[in-house]
Amino acid sequence: MTGALVTGCLFAAGLSGMYLRQQLPNGSLTPGTVMLLRRMVTALTLMTAIMLGFTTVSMKSSFDTADRDVKRLSAQITELDRALRRIGPDAAPIRDLLFRYTSRIIKDTWPDRHSRLPVGPLAPGELREQLRNALEALPALVPTRVQFIAEARVILRDIVATRLMIFESTGSSLSPWLAAALVVWLMVTFGSLGLTAPATPIVVASMFLLAITLGSAAFLIKEYEDPFSGVISVSSVSMENALFSIAD
């Protein structure tokens, strides 16, 4: 939707420039005026390209960071399950809590993809506290068991920290003012191009293709803005694998 809207706005701006050229009195667009307009368009295009490239790289970097955090979280959950297995059979209820905690995270992070995933009424924060309390209540019977319990507690703290980073990466992170400014700059550029270019079919087609290209860039920026929603999003496969390893 965003890409199509940007494409339409840019192409309309270009056609508006062509229409305005036809309405101007003869002799208004002198060679000197056209040269000045083209220099202004070059400067505006350069500034827009820099900002557009910077915004795209920034959004892609945030997306990649969220993807790494999800993979790190799944590895930490798997490691915690292994630590609980090493503790012994009396850690089975804690593994069940970990299973429910992981299911709740998956359901809350990817609600559209895992709408049928059965989860309880408790929020992730409540399940996390139950996990912490259960680990604190485990009796340390032998020295090796003390080590395993301490290891599990450290992993749980790491899980909480990683989960917080993932939560902070959700939602909109692109300033609407910056997005509006970029679109306005591009519309001015297209309008100026239409004002100085001849209204031939080749020029119109080229302008439309350029509008599609920039619209696709806007689409990518919008998709990268929220890593967990939209057509392009962080995969939940690693978290699903961690859940399956707990259930095994």
Tens of pLDDT along the chain (248 residues)?
A: 778 888 888 888 888 888 887 777 776 667 777 777 778 878 888 888 888 888 888 888 888 888 999 999 999 999 999 988 888 888 888 888 898 888 888 888 887 776 566 666 777 788 888 888 888 887 766 667 788 888 888 999 999 899 888 877 665 567 778 788 888 888 888 888 887 777 788 888 888 898 898 888 888 888 888 888 778 888 888 988 988 888 87
Instruction: Match 């507690």 to its residue by tokens.
Output: 153
**Which helix H or strand E contains 233, and what residues bound it?**
none
User: For the residues of 165-201, what is the DSSP string, one character each?
Assistant: HHHHTSS--S-HHHHHHHHHHHHHHHHHHHHHS---H
- How far is Cα 248 from Cα 241, in angstroms, rounded to an integer? 10
Summarised one tens digit per residue, pLDDT across range 192-221 is: 888 777 778 888 888 889 889 888 888 888
